[in-house]
Structure 1
């Protein structure tokens, strides 16, 4: 089969198309013929050797796919690597049949980015109607979904985005206020001004100075959920900072739900499918690239010029 293989860590150029052996499903896995592979910022961390889990080379990136099962069902699935390929083996608990009426392009971001947005907001941040929540990278894959999900739940969304076009998209998706995040200096003041005061909850995925600026805008007993460090700099949060306003700070990494037998992912997938199906959740497409052009998709992610979901077409040569 054809696959994108990394044999070293580095920039987008380390992603090379190769012919490799088909995957051998392990116990509890099923094989899929991949139709679309989702591209995520986690893949950028994998490529740069900054991912939360160690990666052994050679490695095929990709953690979410739309594909077909041996009996012909169209499914969306979570993988633990291997997605940038024509075939992949997935765990039987981590794939869900795609309802009729939902396209491959609509389905592919739901497994990883949709579930991440859902559980960031409702499982960890526990947002409720009437609260104000800060959502970063609001025009990106996770952010564009989180803005809509929070708005649908009756929360007031303050969206962060780096360009006028991205802020306009966030407004169209339901954000009550938008903030320019292109300059870290003065970010806290701009958020407080847009929100009309301290906020009850905030998501954070940049790290470094942005994390500390986000902490500043939380109200007493506010909740912070950290799900990345796209800026490349991890930042420490002092106990003194948390105690001053009784802040709750939590980290979130979706793979920790993969083995949860209470089936939280099955429940959230049903809600995400329903929302897309009834038109209340819009999938913003950043573009679909041929599998051989994985480097182009990663270059766009690196430049942060695109919006929405990027994916790789494994069928069209």
Structure 2
């Protein structure tokens, strides 16, 4: 089968098209004929071995696949790796049947980014109706969905932070009440100004560095910041615990794999709600384009530049 393989860690240049044997499903696993593979920002960290879970070589990257099982089910699935290929394996608990009215690309936009946005709002910051919510990287896969879900869940004011006029215009189109340029020299001041002079209640942050530090300073009493990525690759300053008490603020992290440890099938509930919202036209996935499998390196370059909008996918048939 055609696949992308990594034999040394590094940047996009290490993503090499190759031919490999078809994967053999292990006990209880299913084999999926991949029609589309999702590209996630975490994949760029996996390629350079800077992700939360260490990788080993050789490696076929990719954690999101959509396609058909041997019994004809159309599924979207999460894998630990192996998605950038014509065939991949997954465990049944990581597979979700794609309903009618939801495309493979839609499903890939939902299985990590959509679920992340849902969990951030429902579980991490536990947004109450009427609260103000800041969405950093609002033009990305998580951000475009988080803006819509925050409004859907009753946010009083959604403030979208993005790096270009095009992305900020898209955020307004998706329902944001205000937008902020991500290059604002003082993010604290910019967020407070965008919230009508009031500090903000909740922040969804996957940028890191200066943006995180200054966003924490923009939190209102009992405000919460959920940190779920580090796109800037800049480490934020250590949180000073006395300051959390002094300002009654909360800073927490979120990594989607931990959702499977929660009781009550949280991931299943998230996917069911997201699928329904898309199928009924209440939630719009923003699709940033599909690249041929052989151009995975170019897709990673585009994603790392932070110039892309919405969800990127790979087409193993092209």
TM class, shorter-length: over 0.9
1:70 Cα deviation after fit: 0.8
Map of 1:104 onto structure 2: 104
Structure 2: stretches of 5+ with no match in the other structure: none
Secondary structure of the structure 1 residue equivalent to 2:34: strand
- Please give the alpha-carbon distance, in whole angstroms, between the structure 1 residues aligned to 2:245 and 2:81: 39
Any residues of structure 2 matched to 1:225-244 within 5 Å, and which?
A: 225-235=226-236, 236-244=238-246
1:28 Cα deviation after fit: 2.8
1:260 Cα deviation after fit: 4.2
- Please give the alpha-carbon distance, in whole angstroms, between the structure 2 residues aligned to 1:157 and 1:81: 35
1:249 Cα deviation after fit: 1.4
Structure 1: stretches of 5+ with no match in the other structure: none
Is 1:78 the counterpart of 2:78 in the alignment? yes
- Please give the alpha-carbon distance, in whole angstroms, between the structure 2 residues aligned to 1:303 and 1:207: 16
Map of 2:167 onto structure 1: 166
- Please give the alpha-carbon distance, in whole angstroms, between the structure 2 residues aligned to 1:296 and 1:244: 46
Q: Calculate the aligned-residue CA RMSD, in Å.
A: 1.1
Q: 8 Å contact 1:201–1:224 — kept in the other structure?
A: yes
Q: 8 Å contact 1:63–1:112 — kept in the other structure?
A: no
Q: 8 Å contact 2:151–2:175 — kept in the other structure?
A: yes
- Please give the alpha-carbon distance, in whole angstroms, between the structure 2 residues aligned to 1:225 and 1:7: 34
- Please give the alpha-carbon distance, in whole angstroms, between the structure 1 residues aligned to 2:28 and 2:135: 36
Map of 2:90 onto structure 1: 90
Map of 1:311 onto structure 2: 313
Secondary structure of the structure 2 residue equivalent to 1:4: strand
Secondary structure of the structure 1 residue equivalent to 2:57: coil
- Please give the alpha-carbon distance, in whole angstroms, between the structure 1 residues aligned to 2:164 and 2:301: 18
Map of 2:272 onto structure 1: 270
Q: 1:252 aligns with which of 254, 257, 260?
A: 254
- Please give the alpha-carbon distance, in whole angstroms, between the structure 2 residues aligned to 1:261 and 1:100: 28
Secondary structure of the structure 2 residue equivalent to 1:109: helix
Q: 8 Å contact 2:64–2:111 — kept in the other structure?
A: yes
- Please give the alpha-carbon distance, in whole angstroms, between the structure 2 residues aligned to 1:121 and 1:77: 22
**TM-score (norm. length: structure 1):** 0.97
Any residues of structure 2 matched to 1:103-182 within 5 Å, and which?
A: 103-155=103-155, 156-182=157-183
Is 1:302 the counterpart of 2:313 in the alignment? no
1:253 Cα deviation after fit: 0.3
Segment drifting more, 129-138 vs 258-267: 258-267
Q: Deviations over 1:19-64 (max 9, x none)?
A: 1122222223211111100001000111122101100011111111
1:174 Cα deviation after fit: 0.6
- Please give the alpha-carbon distance, in whole angstroms, between the structure 2 residues aligned to 1:262 and 1:99: 22
1:153–1:261: structure 2 CA closer, same or farther, 3 Å change rule? closer
Q: Deviations over 1:67-122 (max 9, x none)?
A: 10110011111111111111111111111111112111211111111111100111
**TM-score (norm. length: structure 2):** 0.97
Map of 2:59 onto structure 1: 59
